[in-house]
């Protein structure tokens, strides 16, 4: 699927994803800075991913882990620093909410710093349980 707003396109086409852009963005994040290229590529292959693009260049990324029926976990959401504050993150979230493969799912996410953005889309703060990854 593809959505268009002004100069920004959001697409779920995995062929359009720029892995170098995604790796750089995750390297600069607090949640995935230690994640390897291999693990990142595996996570993308097993998820529904949306890229945001301006003039053919990727400027944002959202990954959704989902069974496409009951459950969706929104993660790895970021916008390139030079494109922040222009509504790109909101547009990507709107596309996630509207995506036909996710319409019947309960959506979850965890964030340290963007509560206001997600609350606009009906998310409610609550404690989540987490099982650590085996060593």
Within its chain, how far is the Cα of 23 from the centroid? 13
Specify the number of domains making up the chain. Answer: 1
CATH number for the domain that contains residue 96: 3.40.630.30
> For 119, what's the count of Cα atoms within 13 Å in the CB-facing half-sphere?
7
| pLDDT at position 80 | 97
Domain that holds residue 58: 2-119
Q: Which residues contact 102 (CB under 8 A, 6 or more apart)?
A: 48, 64, 66, 68, 72, 96
- On whether residue 33 sits in a domain, the answer given is yes
Does 130 reside within a domain? no
pLDDT tens figures, 26-59? 999 988 999 999 999 999 999 999 999 999 999 9
Q: Quote the pLDDT of residue 132.
A: 56
Residue 133 lies in a domain: no
Inside any domain, residue 42: yes
Residue 128 above 70 pLDDT? Answer: no
- Tell me: the pLDDT tens digits for 67-86? 999 988 899 999 999 999 99
Flag whether 75 is in a domain: yes
Task: Kindly report the pTM of this predicted structure.
Answer: 0.85
């Amino acid at each position: 699927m593809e959505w268009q707003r002004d100069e920004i396109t959001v697409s779920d086409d995995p062929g359009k994803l720029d892995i170098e852009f995604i790796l750089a963005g995750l390297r600069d994040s607090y949640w995935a800075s230690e994640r390897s290229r291999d693990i990142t590529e595996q996570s993308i292959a097993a998820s529904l991913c949306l890229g945001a693009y301006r003039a053919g260049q990727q400027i944002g990324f959202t990954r959704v882990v989902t069974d496409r029926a009951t459950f969706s976990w929104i993660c790895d959401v970021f916008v390139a620093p030079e494109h922040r504050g222009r509504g790109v993150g909101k547009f990507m979230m709107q596309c996630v909410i509207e995506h036909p493969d996710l319409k019947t799912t309960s959506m979850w996410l965890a964030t340290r710093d963007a509560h206001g953005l997600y609350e606009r889309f009906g998310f409610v703060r609550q404690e989540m349980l987490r099982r650590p990854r085996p060593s």
